[in-house]
Every structure is written in C-alpha cells, then in structure tokens.
Chains A and B, each alone.
Chain A
Amino acid sequence: MIRILVLLAAVTVAVGGAPDAAAQPAAPAPAIRLSSCTPEILAAVQKAKPGAFNVVCHKTPVRMVDGKAQAARIDSIHADVMQQGKRLTFELSADGRVGGMVDEHSDLVGSSSKGMALLFWAFAAAAVGGALFVVTRRNLIAAVMGMVGSFLGIAAIYMMLYAQFLAVVQMLVYAGAIMVLFVFVVMILNRPEDEPVAPSGRAGQALGGLAIVYLVGRLILMLVQVQPPDPAAAMAAPPGGVQCVAWAAGACTRQETYDWGSITAVGTDLFGPGLFPFEAISILLLLAVVGAIAVARPLHGEDDAPAKARSEGVA
C-alpha cells in the first residue's frame, strides 16, 4: 500500500512537475522527488535517525533568488522510519539536524483511524445484509444475489486483514464460479418456494429462540475478549516492502521482502509446509467432478422425457 502511494506520488511528480519547472522558471518550482541524495547526506541522516529507510531528497532545480535563477539546490530531506509499527516521516537538514515529523502513517487494523472503522462497518454490513437476504428471501435469484453481495463484503474484509490473494480468490471462485453454478441450477429448477419457514410448535419456537439468543450472547462476549498473544507485534504493520537491512559507508542496503498475504507469501507456504494438503485437494476436486457428473447424469433406464426425446432424435 505504502509502496503504491510512493510510486504514484513519484509518477505524478515526474509527469507533471518537471515540464512545469522548465516552462515557467519564474513560478515557484515544485519539488522533485529524487532519491539520489549524496553519500554525505545519507550518512548524516543515518546518524540522526538510525534505521531510516527510503531517504528522499527534495530538489528544486531552479529557484528564484533576488530575481535571478539559481542553480539546483537541495531543499529538504525526508526520511522514513518505522517506529512501533508506524511509518513516520521526518524532515532533516543536510547536516543531520532533525527538523520534525511531517507525516505519520499507520497501516494498522486496530488503528484509531476513523476511515478504516467506517470501511469496516460498511463491508461488515454488506456481508451480514447479504447473508440475511439469503436466509429470508423466497425468490431464489434474490437469495443468490444477496449471496454475491455477502461474498464481496467478505472479500473486502479479507483485504482489511492483509489477505490480498485470498480476497481475489474469494471474488473469482465464490462470487464468480460458484454463484454462477447456483444461478444455473436455479434457472433449471425454476420453482418458487411455497413456504420459506418450516412449521413447528409455538413452544418449540420459543425454546429454540431462547437457546439461540443465549448462545449468541455467550459467543459474542467471548470473542470480544480475545486478546492477541503479543498486542504490540500483532498490531504492527505486517512485514513487507523495501526495508533497510544494513548501512555501510552512508549507503543503505535495501532488501525487497514480499508482502504479508501476497501471492508470493501464500505460495511459498502452500508449496512448502502445505504441499500435502494441496495435492490431496487436487484429488478431492477430481473425485468431486467425477461424482457430480455421475450423480447428475440422466439414467437411461429411468423415465426421463427430455433425455429420451434427445436420444430418439439422435437415433
């Protein structure tokens, strides 16, 4: 996420900023993001902020001083530091004095960010509303559409939990393939349901309702109290992205690690420790396909008008 934002900012500046500065030297030139800081600057930044990564020097190529264009100079230096799971951006001067924090970004699920909370409630409402639609509608197509909405909400919830690959799989396999299969079967059956709720006695209904309310209450009370094993580590942004692993001679040795929940990370796990379940699943899917064809195929001895008509037509 952060990398994408930085990339976007860099592209925006590279596309829009440079020609502006060349065409109108009189106007205050926009800062151009160049990470080509000199080794002296990098050394000073490293001394002031150990563990800083992604040091960016903002250069203004042309600057008007007393009506004269002055040559390129470094305007400001920004350095990103990870502290307690937050990415803090500090402004530094060229001699290594820390100017102050200019930006704070946290990628936390449990952050106090209100936008995150609003998104969570919106997608949770979509998931629960779709699920209620499935259970309450008499129209089968409406139920299937509610199911699709529920699956999309759940995919967004996966995304909030840093499970990007699973979110995409959820949308492709569930909202795409499985629900299309359901729509096909609904179209084949084409019968509205007579009565959605199974009749039962009044006492049985009351007793069942009480039991469900009690169980729901206990479950929710228990789940709210669940604590992560190590709150500080669990709340931190997951590992990933470009990280500074070592400093030598004022230069940062960057290492690209794969993101948590990305296809690389999940694939590494799937083809390492999870290899046997993965192979077993392929056999299961093969058996399911063969079984589905065997079960759904019209039997020749049976009284099946369409099949008989088809076979007679061929013959």
Chain B
Amino acid sequence: MSNILWNVGYGHFLVLAAVLFLIGVGGVLVRRNALIILMSVELMLNAANVSLIAFSRMWGDLSAHTFALIVIAVAAAEAAVGLAIVVAVFRGRHNVEVDRLNTLRH
C-alpha cells in the first residue's frame, strides 16, 4: 500500500486519466444542461491527452506530443462550434436543457 502511495509510476498517470475520463462520461450521461455536457466532453478529451502523454513518456516516443497538440486544436474547434449551437438553440427556445430538445421525436 505504501509502495503504491509513494512510488509514483506510469500506472498512476494512466489511472488518473481513466478517472477523469469516467467523470466526463458520467457528466455527459447524467447532466441535462448542454454547457455542462460540452465541458464534460472537454474533460474526456483532456483525459485522453493525459494518457497519450503518459504513454509517450513510457515508450520514449515524442510523436504523441504532436498528437496531443492536435487533440487540443480539435477540442478548441469543438468548443467553438458547440457553444455556437448552444447560443443558437437558446435564442430560439430560451433554455439549453437537452431533454427538452425533442421536437424531432413528436
């Protein structure tokens, strides 16, 4: 137990990434506010980045840094488009709860 506490290795970083990813998944599944769902998606992208960097250090391969940079750029694009959609939805309906966006269902 003390070994796990004091001897920080790659498993720790990978478990941290997994925990962050699961919190993101939970946020997407449980919350109804579109903004919180967007933030949870960002959280999942970040968790993927953490595991990428940990594996990069583990294998001594720097190309994962490039990939993580690209993931950050994709996340920025996703945030821009997602927030634009949220603003457009709010302008039409005056709320952003995803449960109420069910017009196509009826």
Contact = CB atoms under 8 A, between A and B. Distances in A.
Interface in A158-198: 158, 161-163, 165-166, 169-170, 173-174, 177-178, 181-182, 185-186, 188-189, 191, 193-198
B6 A112 contact: yes
B57 A274 contact: no
A161 B42 contact: no
Given A110-B10, A161-B54, A291 B15 contact: no
B13 A157 contact: yes
Given A174-B72, A185-B86, A298-B91, A260 B62 contact: yes
Given A112-B7, A178-B79, A281 B14 contact: no
B18 to A, nearest CB: 5
Contacts of B85: 295
Contacts of B54: 161
Interface in A283-312: 284-285, 287-289, 291-293, 295-296, 298, 302, 304
A270 B62 CA distance: 10
A238 to B, nearest CB: 8
Interface residues of B, number: 74
B53 A166 contact: yes
B63 A274 contact: yes
B101 interface: no
Given A144-B39, A147-B43, A173 B59 contact: no
Interface stretch (A36-44, A52-60, A131-139): A131-139
Contacts of B69: 166, 169, 266, 270
Interface string A37-71: 00000000000000000000000000000000000
A110 B9 contact: yes
Contacts of B32: 193, 195-198
A120 B88 contact: no
Interface string A258-280: 00110001100110011001100
Interface stretch (A26-34, A228-236, A241-249): A228-236
A228 B30 CA distance: 36
Nearest to A289: B80
Nearest to B11: A224
Given A174-B72, A223-B18, A134 B40 contact: yes
Interface string B28-63: 011111011011101100100110011011111011
A223 B15 contact: yes
A143 B36 contact: yes
A162 B6 contact: no
Given A161-B53, A174-B46, A198-B30, A226 B11 contact: yes
Give me the 4 closest cross-chain CB pairs, A-B, nearest first.
A288-B77, A292-B84, A296-B84, A274-B66
Interface of B: 5-16, 18-20, 22-24, 26-27, 29-33, 35-36, 38-40, 42-43, 46, 49-50, 53-54, 56-60, 62-63, 65-70, 72-81, 83-88, 90-92, 94-97, 99
Interface of A: 109-110, 112, 114, 116-117, 120-121, 124, 127-128, 131-132, 134-135, 140, 143-144, 147, 150-151, 154, 157-158, 161-163, 165-166, 169-170, 173-174, 177-178, 181-182, 185-186, 188-189, 191, 193-198, 208, 212, 215-216, 219-220, 223-226, 228-229, 233-234, 238, 260-261, 265-266, 269-270, 273-274, 277-278, 281, 284-285, 287-289, 291-293, 295-296, 298, 302, 304
27 contacts: A110-B10, A116-B8, A127-B16, A128-B16, A128-B19, A134-B43, A135-B23, A147-B42, A154-B46, A178-B42, A181-B83, A182-B38, A182-B79, A188-B90, A193-B33, A194-B97, A216-B22, A220-B15, A223-B11, A223-B15, A260-B62, A265-B65, A270-B69, A281-B74, A285-B73, A288-B76, A295-B88
